[in-house]
């Protein structure tokens, strides 16, 4: 009996533990999952569907047009509209490839090598992330135009001007501004990847290049996420299309779409047809990504992960590494910022550039007037609320997208989220106006049109797809048995997630929050269409100054806004570094460095 009793106890204990193993979670069986699905439907499905349906049924909500017609697609597939689609595809593919390469190289240098001044390079990435494309283009224009800053300094910039203001400049600006998105997707994947595979390859006499070839397939989900985001952002970008491409007579799909909406009368049918082509084009990279992720598992993060080994680079390789980082970020950040800052220091820039002189009057005027304080405070509060809600729901949606055995609902969410990235913000804003300005909503007491609440929902709709796509890579690497182990030891589902997954993703979540905050702060299309009367967001205030030929005041307000965003980023990273446990800080992140 003394021998069999322990065996019986062990058998009973094993059966008990087996019965306590948590069942496989079905995300949409929970109340939180249902609420998330409803929110996505209201934020994205309803307004986007109401807009896109105009391509087939322009008379659905009014009797002024035929109930069913395909004339919109005839317009979208001919003339400048067709050329705009082709041009958009070409520049988006090139920008996606270039940005993914540069972002991946930057991520590898900052995460896997002993390069100096990592905080400086990380700050440059954040700063590049803050600057919207319309401001980046403005900086280059002020430098290179015939009466620009370089011309006043005696530098002949005409050869560069004629090359830049065309397809080359469009691809260049989109690629440079897309580097942070690719970096965000790849950096965490490299940081969370331990040195086990590299050590095994080196033990078997593999070179560093051969070891890198082993790592590359494992971070493929992050690479595909980075390319998909840059591609979709380029397809939906309106700032470059409206400024650089339009002035260079290089048609882009988003500008063709804007022209249809800006016409009198409004032509939602033709705009919706172009929107269908934009959304369909954005689906190509996500279909490739899904195919890659379904073929094999990329989960490598577990409780036994070893610390990443930082490579010591010496000799010519170190020189070329510094040269690459210096040239890349000089062209991406320093040069356009030189144009913006120099314009902000010139008095009377919008009236007589030749008689301009250096002065701080633009800053004093912007700071002293009401327009200088109220927009910054208003946009700051909305950006904070948008970033917080976006991370809560974005992390949950990213978890669904990272699952290998995706359900029909998660596949539909995947399609809708990336498609929403490709849909221009100005079109989403028009969809919000069309959807939430219906008389029956007022009849039931839902008065959102013309309020800050609708503007907040518009910001949330534009930020949620990007944040969820960025978090897919890190979540795809986290093995599900980590939460299962916590559940076996008595933790509830949410408690288990915070005990096991949250420490690993804390840096990624912080970086995604800061990304959402900074991008929302200077967002233009949604702000321009949905801002309530009497309350000006920052981008609208800047645009009003620029439209009034007050280039000095507009650029001065831009510099102030960028500086405020950098203060928030620095404060958030500093608080995390001080109060977060050291173990969390060692799990890898997007921008933070130890």
pLDDT digits (tens, 9 = 90+) for 2-31: 444 444 443 444 444 444 444 444 544 456
Residue 45 CA from chain centroid, whole number: 20
Which portions of the chain are predicted below pLDDT 70?
1-34, 36, 59, 61-67, 192-217, 263-266, 282-283, 286-309, 348-356, 369-373, 403-413, 415-416, 418-423, 477-500, 583-594
Dmax (CA) for the chain in angstroms is 104
> What is the per-residue pLDDT for 594?
40
pTM of full prediction above 0.85: no
pLDDT in tens, 202-214: 665 556 666 666 6
Render 55-90 in DSSP notation, one character per residue.
GT-TTSS-TTS-SS--HHHHHHTSHHHHHHHHHHHH
> What is the per-residue pLDDT for 385?
95
Residue 508 to residue 186: CA distance in whole angstroms? 11
Residue 545 to residue 304: CA distance in whole angstroms? 56
> What is the per-residue pLDDT for 97?
93
> What is the per-residue pLDDT for 290?
63
> What is the per-residue pLDDT for 295?
55
Secondary structure element (H or E) that encloses residue 460, with its range: helix 452-476
CB 106 within 8 A of CB 179: yes
> What is the per-residue pLDDT for 197?
61
The CATH number of 73-585 is 1.10.3720.10
pLDDT in tens, 109-131: 888 788 888 888 888 887 887 78
CB 325 within 8 A of CB 210: no
Closest by alpha carbon to 361, among 380, 345, 379?
Answer: 345
């Amino acid at each position: 009996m003394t021998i069999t009793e322990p065996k019986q106890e062990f058998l009973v204990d094993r059966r008990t533990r087996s019965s306590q193993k948590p069942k496989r979670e079905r995300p949409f069986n929970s109340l939180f999952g249902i609420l998330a699905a409803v929110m996505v439907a209201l934020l994205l499905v309803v307004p986007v569907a109401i807009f896109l349906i105009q391509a087939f049924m322009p008379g659905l909500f009014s009797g002024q047009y035929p109930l069913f017609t395909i004339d919109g697609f005839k317009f979208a597939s001919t003339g400048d509209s067709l050329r705009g689609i082709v041009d958009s595809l070409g520049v988006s593919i090139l920008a996606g490839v270039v940005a993914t390469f540069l972002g991946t190289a930057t991520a590898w240098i900052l995460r896997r090598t002993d390069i100096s001044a990592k905080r400086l390079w990380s700050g440059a990435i954040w700063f590049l992330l803050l600057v919207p494309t319309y401001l980046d283009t403005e900086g280059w224009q002020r430098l290179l135009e015939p009466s620009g800053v370089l011309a006043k300094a005696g530098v002949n910039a005409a050869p560069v001007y004629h090359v830049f203001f065309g397809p080359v400049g469009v691809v260049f600006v989109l690629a440079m501004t897309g580097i942070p998105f690719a970096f965000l997707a790849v950096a965490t994947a490299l940081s969370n990847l331990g040195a086990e595979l590299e050590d095994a390859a080196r033990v078997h006499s593999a070179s560093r290049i051969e070891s890198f070839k082993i790592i590359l397939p494992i971070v493929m989900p992050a690479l595909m996420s980075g390319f998909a985001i840059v591609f979709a952002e380029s397809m939906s970008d309106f700032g470059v299309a409206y400024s650089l491409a339009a002035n260079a007579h290089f048609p882009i799909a988003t500008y063709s779409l804007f022209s249809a909406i800006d016409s009198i009368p409004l032509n939602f049918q033709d705009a919706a047809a172009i929107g269908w082509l934009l959304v369909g084009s954005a689906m190509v990279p996500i279909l490739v990504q899904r195919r890659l992720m379904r073929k094999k598992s990329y989960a490598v993060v577990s409780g036994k992960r070893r610390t990443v080994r930082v490579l010591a680079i010496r000799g010519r390789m170190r020189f070329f590494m510094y040269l690459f980082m210096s040239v890349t970020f000089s062209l991406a950040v320093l040069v356009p910022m030189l144009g913006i800052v120099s314009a902000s220091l010139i008095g009377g820039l919008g009236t007589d550039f030749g008689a301009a002189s250096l002065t701080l009057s633009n800053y004093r005027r912007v700071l002293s007037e009401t327009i200088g304080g109220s927009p910054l405070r208003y946009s700051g509060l909305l950006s904070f609320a948008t970033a917080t809600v976006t991370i809560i729901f974005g992390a949950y949606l990213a978890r669904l997208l990272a699952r290998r055995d995706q359900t029909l609902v998660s596949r539909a969410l995947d399609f809708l989220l990336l498609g929403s990235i490709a849909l221009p913000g100005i079109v989403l804003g028009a969809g919000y106006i069309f959807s939430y300005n219906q008389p029956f909503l007022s009849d039931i007491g839902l008065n959102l049109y013309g309020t800050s609440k609708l503007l907040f929902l518009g910001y949330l709709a534009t930020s949620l797809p990007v944040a969820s796509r960025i978090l897919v890579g890190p979540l795809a690497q986290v093995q599900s048995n980590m939460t299962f182990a916590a559940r076996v030891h008595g933790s509830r589902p949410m408690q288990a997630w915070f005990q096991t997954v949250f420490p690993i993703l804390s840096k990624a979540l912080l970086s995604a929050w800061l990304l959402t905050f900074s991008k929302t702060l200077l967002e233009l299309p949604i702000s321009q269409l949905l801002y309530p009367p009497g309350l000006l967001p920052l981008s609208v205030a800047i645009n009003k100054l620029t439209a009034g030929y007050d280039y000095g005041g507009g650029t001065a307000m831009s510099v102030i806004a960028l500086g405020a965003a950098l203060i928030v980023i620095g404060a958030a990273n500093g608080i995390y570094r001080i109060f977060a446990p050291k173990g969390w800080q060692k799990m890898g992140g997007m921008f933070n460095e130890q």
